[in-house]
Amino acid sequence: MWESWSSLGWDVHLDWHPDTGRPGLADALRRAIRERRLGPGTALPSTRALAKDLGIARGTVTRVYADLAAEGYLLTSQGAPTRVAAGGTAPAVPAREHPRTTTRSRDARWNLSPGRPDLSSFPRAAWLSAARRVLLEAPPGVFDYGDPRGPAVLREALARYLARSRGVVTDPERVVVCGGFNHAMAVLAQVLREDGELAFEDPSLPEFRATATGNGLSVTGVRVDEHGLVVSELDSPAVVVTPAHQFPLGYTLAPARRTALTRWAGRNGGLVIEDDYDGEFRFDRRPVGAVQALAPERTIYVGSVSKTLAPSLRIGWIVPPRSLVEPVRAALAATGWRAPSMDHLILAEMLTSGSYDRHVRQRRLAYRKRRDRLLAALPESVTPLGISAGLHVVLLLPSGVPEEDAFAAVARESIALEQLGRFWIRAGGRPQGIVVGYATPPEHAFTPAIEALTRSLRAITR
């Protein structure tokens, strides 16, 4: 028997039979949410209205709403309609930009994928306020095709921000605005194509390695230990590093290694591509400055707002050595890139007004609290790595436990995360582990997501 309700002026058909009672109604609502017949943010009828439409007790609907809210499917607030939560549906992963083999089924309930911030924390009010100021004050010329490097006002704001917050040596003429790190990787691969080879940390993101090879470079791996990149094993014209928080292992490049890396670049004429993907989020001490400051003419610094604001903005920046500014600009123009001027002007306004800094400080505190809650919940049998900074943690599985594929089999029906194995360049003899993005879930879904993770960890390590 198909049932529907129309209390809000629209129909949603539920595959529900009254004989199945409260469990059946809860299952029907879950399916409607997973199948996006009830999309994120949709307001549900009041408990009184739905009970009346379906001819059941109001207490039954109240219990169903409470159960689904506890599971992360719904958001409830006193005096406001009950709504479908963003985290209650299977998260969409844009394969074109993030072709990842995430450990999850299509209907995984909890998203702990690394590499994403809490999207529900996007500073809508600050963004809207900045947008209003830009629209009121900007001249008509901003609606024309913009400077491919990015508007001057954003490059000026970024130069000030990067110098102040990350210690980057730069000026507005050296800043080139791009569409994020992968876009920067494609541009830089064109600039470095004559070099023939590019080194990456082992492990590292395979998507970025694929971008390099797809643009004509061969790729090699350089080992990483607890002090970061093993510089003595580096034998390539250029290398991509994540010194503030190595991805995915989370190590910080030690001071001696930083010195060795910059000496290698100066002695061999090498180039360091610094991916400072989450340098703002350090929890154990003052933020670690950029390696670029030690060798600004041998380092290409790259950053973005993908972790601080949202990846969908597609706003990043490249700070090349002076000798490479024009080649980078030319390669960027050759890609047909046109900067989204309005979003760039809004970001410039937020940087100038201080609202961007305030948002980063708020998120740093929130993510540190999440990290602490995660660490407190973990079973003693797993070893966390990279806990001093960032938005993710690596959990090494204990020896004697079946390979991480076994954990994936246990967890994939409920949790989206990453297996450590996919990040290695050279296979064999690698530690088994998982990569957990504790920043990803919205706040209401964080606790049940961590509970599901710890249940799966206990099941596989028992």
Question: Which has more confidence, 286 or 123?
Answer: 123
**Phi and psi at residue 2, to the nearest 5°:** -90, 130
Question: Which has more confidence, 190 or 288?
Answer: 190
pLDDT value at position 29? 87
Q: Bridge-partner residues for 416, per DSSP?
A: 111
pLDDT value at position 140? 87
Give 17's pLDDT tier (boundaries 50, 70, 90): confident
Structure-token pair, residue 227: 């002090």
For residues 137 and 117, state if they share a domain: no
- List CB contacts of 212: < 8 A, sequence separation 6 or more: 185, 189, 198, 200, 219
DSSP structure class, residue 171: -
For residues 169 and 27, state if they share a domain: no
Q: Bridge-partner residues for 91, per DSSP?
A: none
* CB neighbours of residue 36 within 10 Å: 13
Q: The CATH number of the domain where 233 resides is what?
A: 3.40.640.10
Residue 97 lies in a domain: no
Whether 409 has a pLDDT exceeding 70, the answer reads no
pLDDT value at position 94? 32
pLDDT tens-place string over residues 366-391: 999 999 999 999 998 899 999 999 99
> To which H or E segment does residue 25 belong?
helix 21-34
pLDDT value at position 105? 45
Whether 279 has a pLDDT exceeding 50, the answer reads yes
pLDDT value at position 408? 67
Residue 96 lies in a domain: no
For residues 36 and 181, state if they share a domain: no
| Last residue within a domain, chosen from 331, 354, 377 | 354
pLDDT tens-place string over residues 68-103: 887 778 887 777 888 888 754 433 333 333 344 455
User: How many helices, marked H, and strands, marked E, lie in the chain?
Assistant: 13, 18
Query: What is d(CA 189, CA 183) in angstroms, rounded to the nearest whole number?
Result: 10
State the residue range of the domain holding 311. 124-354
Peptide bond into 340 cis (omega under 30): no
pLDDT value at position 429? 67
Query: What is d(CA 209, CA 239) in angstroms, rounded to the nearest whole number?
Result: 11
Residue 36 lies in a domain: yes
Q: The CATH number of the domain where 396 resides is what?
A: 3.90.1150.10
**Phi and psi at residue 75, to the nearest 5°:** -115, 125
Query: What is d(CA 25, CA 17) in angstroms, rounded to the nearest whole number?
Result: 8
pTM summary value: 0.77
For residues 403 and 333, state if they share a domain: no
pLDDT value at position 212? 93
Structure-token pair, residue 325: 């500014």
Task: Please check whether residue 401 is in contact with residue 461, taking contact to mean a CB–CB distance below 8 angstroms.
Answer: yes
| Last residue within a domain, chosen from 290, 323, 354 | 354
For residues 18 and 78, state if they share a domain: yes
Average pLDDT for 275-288: 86
Amino acid at 17: H
For residues 165 and 261, state if they share a domain: yes
Helix, coil or strand: residue 3: strand
For residues 264 and 289, state if they share a domain: yes
Question: Which has more confidence, 217 or 33?
Answer: 217
Residue 377 lies in a domain: yes
For residues 159 and 260, state if they share a domain: yes
The alpha carbons of the chain give a radius of gyration, in whole angstroms, of: 24
Alpha helices (runs of H) in 286-400, residue ranges in sequence order = 325-334, 341-353, 355-377
The CA distances from residue 65 to 58, 107, 205, 448, in Å, are 11, 20, 40, 16
Q: The CATH number of the domain where 56 resides is what?
A: 1.10.10.10
Structure-token pair, residue 263: 């000496």
Residue 61 lies in a domain: yes
Query: What is d(CA 434, CA 164) in angstroms, rounded to the nearest whole number?
Result: 35
Structure-token pair, residue 387: 């806990």
Structure-token pair, residue 315: 């706003």
Query: What is d(CA 239, CA 262) in angstroms, rounded to the nearest whole number?
Result: 11
Q: Bridge-partner residues for 384, per DSSP?
A: 395
For residues 128 and 244, state if they share a domain: yes
| Last residue within a domain, chosen from 354, 376, 409 | 354
Query: What is d(CA 126, CA 162) in angstroms, rounded to the nearest whole number?
Result: 20
Residue 94 lies in a domain: no
pLDDT tens-place string over residues 446-460: 999 999 999 888 887
For residues 185 and 302, state if they share a domain: yes
> To which H or E segment does residue 5 belong?
strand 3-5
pLDDT tens-place string over residues 229-238: 999 999 999 9
Alpha helices (runs of H) in 138-236, residue ranges in sequence order = 152-166, 181-191, 206-214
Residue 102 lies in a domain: no
For residues 225 and 265, state if they share a domain: yes
Whether 168 has a pLDDT exceeding 60, the answer reads yes
Average pLDDT for 264-289: 90
pLDDT value at position 38? 82
For residues 152 and 276, state if they share a domain: yes
* Residues 255-263: contacts with CB under 8 Å, at least 24 apart: 256/227, 257/227, 257/228, 257/229, 257/230, 257/231, 258/291, 258/294, 259/294, 260/231, 260/232, 261/229, 261/231, 261/234, 261/291, 262/291, 262/294, 262/295, 262/298, 262/299
pLDDT value at position 13? 62
Residue 260 lies in a domain: yes
pLDDT value at position 343? 94
Tally the domains of the chain: 3
